[in-house]
Amino acid sequence: MRFSLLSSVALACLSSGAAFAQDAEERRTPDSEVERIVVTSSILGATTQEIAGAAGIVDARHIEEDLAGSLADTISHEPGVSSTYFGPAASRPVIRGLGSDRVRVLVNGVGLIDASTASPDHAVATEALEAERIEILRGPAAIAYGGGAIGGVVNVIDGRVPERAPDGPVEGRVYTGATSVDSGHQLAGRIRTSVGPFVFHLEGLTRSADDYDIPGFAESARLRALEHADDSAPAMARDEDDDHESFGVVENTHLDFETGSLGGSWVGDWGFVGLAYKSAEASYGLPGHAHEEEEAPFPFASDEEDEVPPSIEMTQNRWDFRGDIDLPQGSPFTRVRFALGVAQYKHAEIEDGAVGTLFTNDGWEGRVEIRHRPIGNVIGAFGLQSQYRDFSALGDEAFIVPVETTDRGVFLVERYDAGTWGVEGGLRADHREIESIAGNRDFTTWSASGSVFVSPGDGRFVSLTGAITERAPTDIELFADGPHLATQSYERGNPALQPERAYSIDLTGRLERDLWGAEASIFRADYDGFIGLFATGGVEEGLPVFAYRQADASLWGFDGRVTRQIGYRWGWDFSAEGTFEFVRGEVDSGGNLPRIPPLSLSGVLEAERDWVAASVEVTWAAEQDEVTANELPTDSYTLVDAQLVFTPVPVDGLRVIVQGRNLTDEDARLHTSFLKDQVPLPGRNFRVALSYSF
């Protein structure tokens, strides 16, 4: 994908926007309406006010305002959501302390077909700016999406396959932005038009950045103190050479991403059927990566000074075929929705200017959902889901042999709604087959969930959901055997692993009044045979050995959001919002689960008048000292952000965003990151962005 193509898309959007600006209507949905839109990830088409369990939607306007590098970093403002933060290029979402293969990241309801679950230094193959909205299901979603969603779902709705015709002859959006902390630039454009019943969609995106600035040392004070310990300290906790210590910048965090896509659909009153193609290329540095055979220091630390810093070159080519069709009267079914994604993915890890390891993942995923006609007050749907992947890693960091994985699942969801109360239940069966030269395994897993909800009116809704969910082991958990330098460990799989089972409960309440809005959840999940990577105490190839094994464990906590319309003061319309989240993860036999996020609170005060909105946000994260072996505590931090958004009246659809982030230049580190003691969050950052919708 060349920048010339991306520039052409943006120029086409700008020129079309100028031509039709006079007729374009405002397409940014007010907050009150956004909260009521359908959550497509729910299967039954429930809104955020009706869905049993915790759910959230981030619309295009908030994506632009919260944009922060990767997809996971952009949505980390949502309650209960954090990220694995392996620098600004590679991050996956963490929901309520769970990540990797326990949180599914989807595009329009099907998987990404990338390598992001294999290692935290592998980027997710989708960009936040590609999304029209992002749907987040917090808590078990295995009934709809399989055991890989035992912790939750992040579903990116990107519109590449158009679902509707444009309101006018042409519609689209252009976004461009710049950041000071990393000399970053972003440019994205999309345009949609129709010819008769056929709708066409074209879009492109590019973002680039240099190494980003920080207020102090890249290594945390705790890690530096450990490295500078005297000779009585453990050998792998010492660093014999302090000259490498990076100050004021996190080295090797540069990035360059480009994507482009073209899609088309046949759209009518009956629904739509369409096809889209996407190509993505990425190049980014790997901070804190080690590529030597010498003894490593403290796990998650690196003292190498490579002549050429390691990096990743990634490409993905993907086809998507989707449809949503209303069925004729007289049929026992009302609607069928289907999606199929087929992708070829590869990335090369470049060491000293040459390819050190090549990862490939070729595969497909498809699903079909069919809704039956209401039976009294009962609505429901059933479906099929299947996926296949051919994954291989060849080279220096090939910690797993080539492997083929096939998953098949069937599910059923039913809901009885009497108006002021109701019940919902679901069942799912899955079968997984894993084939490799290291061995073959197959698993059959079952999941079930049930909810009771009351909705007495006046904007009140309360649901209690219980679920029994099973997740089969992954290929890496079974067959890994080799150095995994992203986690600074030697990983050893366990071919004898059995499916883990979670017994979970979630109590969620929502309130919406004229001036108040709130959603809060209390949750707990008890795991039989939780599959984790635990230290063995051994050392191999200079790295501490971690082995996959099973242990009973539990996670519990709470999260939510409160909003308040304060009213008019001094000509400004004031409002406030607060979010909170807490999760605790423990192994039943003693000890803590690793990388569990700490208690965090945030508050936003916003004032709006005419064509300008101003806001200040303060985020506080507590110290995390509930740690596991080979894990250092993480200090508390406070971040202060400020924002101005201008919507000039003469230019309909134009928004200018001016932000200051981390204004106090705080040293902040995410405990959910493998590299939190080497890679802090960016320092003080000023951002300017322009968005134009037409």
**Token pair 């051919």: residue:** 390
As beta bridge partners, residue 183 has none
Distance (Å, whole) CA 135 – CA 65: 17
Quote the tokens at residue 612: 């300008």
Mean pLDDT computed over 364-374? 97
pLDDT of residue 69: 86
Q: What is the CATH number of the domain that holds 76?
A: 2.40.170.20
Please, which residues have CB within 8 angstroms of residue 196's CB and are 6 or more apart in sequence? none
Higher pLDDT, 53 or 530: 530
* pLDDT digit string, tens, across residues 463-483: 999 999 999 999 999 999 998
Q: Which of 135-139, 188-192, 205-209, 275-279 has the lowest mean pLDDT?
A: 135-139
Do 371 and 334 touch, CB atoms closer than 8 A? yes
Tokens 């976004």 identify what position?
175
Lowest mean pLDDT among 31-35, 249-253, 405-409: 31-35
- Mean of the per-residue pLDDT values for the chain? 89
At which residue do the structure tokens 């006609």 appear? 373
pLDDT at residue 85, as a whole number: 96
Structural domains of the chain, count: 1
Contact status, residue 392 vs residue 402, Cβ threshold 8 Å: yes
Predicted pLDDT of residue 465 = 96
Domain limits at 454?
3-693
Residues in the chain: 694
Residue 39 has pLDDT above 90, yes or no: no
pLDDT at 46: 87
pLDDT at 424: 96
For residue 536, give Cα distances in angstroms to 198, 489, 492, 540: 59, 11, 10, 11
Helix, strand, coil shares of the chain as percentages rounded to 5? 10, 55, 35
What string of DSSP letters covers 305-335?
--SS--EEEEEEEEEEEEEEEEPPTTSSEEE
CA distance 145 to 413: 12
> CA–CA distance from 262 to each of 8, 159, 203 (Å)?
13, 10, 7
Q: What angle do CA 205, 187, 248 make, to 5 degrees?
A: 110
Alpha-carbon gap, residue 521 to 423, rounded angstroms? 18
Phi, psi at 131, each rounded to 5°: -85, 140
**Which pLDDT band holds residue 307 (cuts at 50, 70, 90)?**
low
Integer CA distances (angstroms), 452 to 102, 372, 374, 382, 505, in order: 25, 21, 19, 20, 12
State the CB neighbour count (10 A cutoff) for residue 241: 9
Q: Do the beta carbons of residue 499 and residue 478 sit within 8 Å?
A: no
Q: Which pLDDT belongs to residue 241?
A: 44
